[in-house]
Amino acid sequence: MGEGSVWYLSSALAAREIREFSPGAKILALLREPSEMAYSLYHLYRRTGNEELPSFAEALAAQEERRQGRRIPAATYFPEGLQYVEAARAADKLERFFAAFGRDRVRVVLFEDFRRDNAKVYREVLEFLEIDPGFVPEFDPARAAARIQEMAIRQLRRTDPRVRRKIGREGLRQHAGPAREPMSPELRARLREIFRPDVARLSELLGRDLSAWSA
Secondary structure of 128-173 in HEC code, one letter for each residue? HHCCCCCCCCCCCHHHHHHHHHHHHHHHHHHCCHHHHHHHHHHHHH
**pLDDT mean over 89-96:** 97
Share of the chain above pLDDT 90, in %: 70
**What CATH architecture is 14-139+185-213?**
3-Layer(aba) Sandwich (3.40)
**Is residue 100 predicted with pLDDT exceeding 80?**
yes
3-class secondary structure, 59 = helix
Q: Which residues sit opposite 44 in a β-bridge?
A: none
**Is residue 143 predicted with pLDDT exceeding 60?**
yes
Q: Which of 85, 105, 112 is nearest to 191 (CA)?
A: 85
What pLDDT is recorded for position 173? 52
What pLDDT is recorded for position 123? 94
Beta carbons of 14 and 8 less than 8 angstroms apart: yes
pLDDT digits (tens, 9 = 90+) for 157-213: 777 777 767 666 555 555 555 567 899 999 999 999 999 999 999 999 999 999 999
At 141, the pLDDT band (50, 70, 90 cuts) reads confident
Task: Please tell me which residue, 51 or 174, carries the higher pLDDT value.
Answer: 51
Beta carbons of 87 and 36 less than 8 angstroms apart: no
What pLDDT is recorded for position 188? 97
What pLDDT is recorded for position 142? 80
**Is residue 76 predicted with pLDDT exceeding 60?**
yes
∠ Cα 160 165 169 (to 5°)? 115
Alpha-carbon distances of 101 from 1, 98, 121, 151, 186, rounded to whole Å: 18, 5, 22, 30, 39
- Count of Cβ atoms closer than 10 Å to residue 110 Cβ: 18
**Is residue 136 predicted with pLDDT exceeding 90?**
no
At 113, the pLDDT band (50, 70, 90 cuts) reads very high
Backbone φ, ψ for residue 134 (5° rounding):
-85, -10
What does the domain layout of the chain look like in residue ranges? 14-139+185-213
What pLDDT is recorded for position 170? 55
* Helix or strand run (H / E) with residue 107: strand 106-110
**pLDDT mean over 95-103:** 97
pLDDT digits (tens, 9 = 90+) for 26-47: 999 999 999 999 999 999 999 8
What pLDDT is recorded for position 140? 81
What pLDDT is recorded for position 180? 79
Model-level pTM greater than 0.95? Answer: no
